[in-house]
């Protein structure tokens, strides 16, 4: 699902303790907890940067994230069907579908861009912890926010330049070679996913971390 506002971040991690433990994260021998514990904490922290604000805004963003992800999935599924049909046509007639690769390229590119908002809001992007496996919860929180800011800027720049490219393609009346699809429509279809991903990342960058309430059950 898209970013959930009821997802909460364990207070113990913010206090430098493992959930259920009374002191700093450590193993039975008194050494630092395994690296996997830090990776798990970072993953949970990333997903906990939920969108905070008016309920209507939260619901609207969640709804948009879900719709764009489903649309992207349908496009990828359609591209798979085109590939299957082209292979079947080649096997039966000796000729593949005309323009099949153009359809697959366009559908895959647009579909991938529509997955970005959902992936960002759900905190499922790949985390590389080569330089941060040693970091504590507060450091991870700061780095996670910094990553959200960077993602917001990168997606905003990509959306802007893609929109500029779409205008340029429209002015040049450029078309795809085989099917004659106006190239500007392909560029323009990339903009919504990139822009929404930028908005989600921006909202995450300024979102407060949600903590468990004192009377909440485990």
Question: pLDDT tens across 105-138, in order?
Answer: 999 999 999 999 999 988 888 877 788 878 888 8
Q: Is the predicted pLDDT of residue 202 greater than 60, yes or no?
A: yes
Q: Is the pLDDT of residue 76 over 90?
A: yes
Give the mean model confidence (pLDDT) for residues 160-188.
Answer: 94
SS3 sequence of 158-177 = HHHHHHHHHHHHHHHCCECC
Looking at per-residue pLDDT, the higher value among 146 and 22 belongs to 146
**Residue 12: its pLDDT value, please?**
40
State the average pLDDT over residues 38-43. Answer: 53
Pairwise pLDDT comparison (116 vs 9), residue with the higher score: 116
Query: Is the pLDDT higher at 140 or at 164?
Result: 164
How large a percentage of the chain has pLDDT more than 70?
69
Decide if pLDDT at 80 tops 60: yes
Can you give the pLDDT at residue 124? 83
Helix/strand/coil for 24: strand
pLDDT for position 107: 96
pLDDT, residue 144, reads 85
So what's the pLDDT on residue 58?
76
Of the pLDDT bands very low, low, confident and very high (cuts 50, 70, 90), residue 36 is low
The answer for residues whose C-beta is within 8 angstroms of residue 90's C-beta and 6 or more apart is 96
Q: Cβ–Cβ contacts within 10 Å for residue 211, how many?
A: 14
Average confidence score pLDDT of the chain: 78
| Separation between Cα atoms, residue 202 and residue 68, nearest integer Å | 18
Instruction: Enter the pTM of the model.
Output: 0.70
Mean pLDDT over 57-78 rounds to 91
Break the chain into its structural domains and give their ranges. 26-205
Dihedral angle over CA of 2, 165, 176, 94, nearest 10: -40
CB 210 within 8 A of CB 130: no
- Find out whether 194 and 113 touch, Cβ atoms under 8 Å: yes
Mean pLDDT over 38-58 rounds to 55
Residue 213 pLDDT grade (very low, low, confident, very high; cuts 50, 70, 90): very low
pLDDT of res. 40: 56
């Amino acid at each position: 699902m898209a970013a959930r506002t009821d997802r909460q971040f364990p207070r113990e991690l913010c206090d430098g303790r493992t959930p259920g433990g009374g002191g700093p994260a450590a193993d039975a021998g008194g050494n630092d907890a395994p690296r996997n514990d830090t990776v798990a904490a970072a993953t949970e922290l990333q997903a906990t940067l939920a969108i905070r604000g008016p309920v209507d805004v939260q619901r609207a963003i969640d709804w948009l994230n879900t719709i764009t992800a489903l649309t992207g999935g349908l496009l990828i599924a359609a591209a798979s069907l085109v590939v299957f049909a082209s292979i079947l046509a080649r096997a039966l007639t000796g000729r593949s579908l005309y323009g099949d690769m153009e359809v697959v390229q366009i559908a895959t590119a647009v579909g991938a861009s529509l997955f970005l908002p959902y992936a960002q809001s759900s905190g499922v992007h790949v985390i590389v912890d080569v330089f941060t496996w040693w970091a504590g919860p507060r450091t991870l929180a700061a780095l996670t926010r910094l990553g959200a800011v960077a993602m917001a800027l990168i997606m905003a720049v990509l959306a802007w330049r893609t929109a500029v490219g779409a205008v340029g393609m429209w002015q040049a009346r450029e078309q795809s070679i085989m099917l004659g699809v106006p190239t500007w429509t392909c560029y323009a279809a990339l903009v919504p996913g990139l822009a929404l991903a930028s908005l989600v990342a921006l909202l995450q960058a300024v979102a407060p971390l949600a903590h468990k309430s004192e009377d909440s059950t485990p």
